[in-house]
Amino acid sequence: MNERQLLLRDAWDRAEPFGVFLDVAMKHRELWHAITRRAVVPAELSPRLRALRGRYRFLVLLEDWCGDAVNTVPYMQALAAGLPGSELRVLERDLNPEIMDLYLSPKGARAIPVCVILDEQFRDPCWWGSRPTELQTWVMSPAAQAMDKDERYKRIRAWYARDRGRTTLDEIVTYLERIEQKAKVA
């Protein structure tokens, strides 16, 4: 293993299973539990999931106060639970800057959540974060940036409530499909 793989393996070993994190989450506690209870993988993704052959580790960097995390990570957990041989674990961003700094946003921010997809050798062929592309595009638009912060967050929450994790899961499954396609070509 190279140095990066060793670092990621160590991070994985230190990371908590999602259930442990959920038990100690304090900020938005009720929301974390409510979204986790209703988080399911949409039926339309089932054929794509059945076609996946890899075993993946989903290493998620987050903080319990993060609204984007509470609206996406429970769905990621449902995805990991539905993929044979796969698992999701979480690390707190603020306690793991050496890992977080590997996955900065395009503008160099420590934006969360970040879902690092690790293969069986602890390589990180890709990562997802910190919002679904469609939502992030809107958030960065001049119209959204001109809004009062409270109004913008209200619209973000409404978008997540309508989406129910579908866009996040579609993006992550697309990444997994690309990983497997590259493996076939190699």
Ramachandran class of 61: left when φ > 0, alpha when ψ lies in -120 to 50, beta otherwise: beta
Q: Stretch 150-165: mean pLDDT, rounded?
A: 96
Structural domains in the chain (count):
1
Q: Stretch 34-50: mean pLDDT, rounded?
A: 95
What is the C-alpha separation between 52 and 50, in angstroms, rounded?
6
Q: Under a CB-based contact definition with an 8 Å cutoff, are residues 71 and 169 in contact?
A: no
pLDDT at 146 exceeding the cut of 90: yes
**Which tokens in the block code for residue 150?**
């409270």
The SS3 assignment for 87 reads strand
pLDDT at 183 exceeding the cut of 90: no
Digit-coded pLDDT (tens) for 9-36: 999 999 999 999 999 988 999 999 999 9
pTM of the model: 0.94
16-17 and 57-62: which strand pairing? unpaired
Range of the domain at 71: 3-185
Q: Stretch 153-167: mean pLDDT, rounded?
A: 96
What integer pLDDT is reported at residue 186 of this predicted model?
A: 64
Report the CATH number at residue 126: 3.40.30.10
DSSP track, 95-140: G-HHHHTTS--TTS---S-EEEEE-TTS---EEEESS-HHHHHHHT
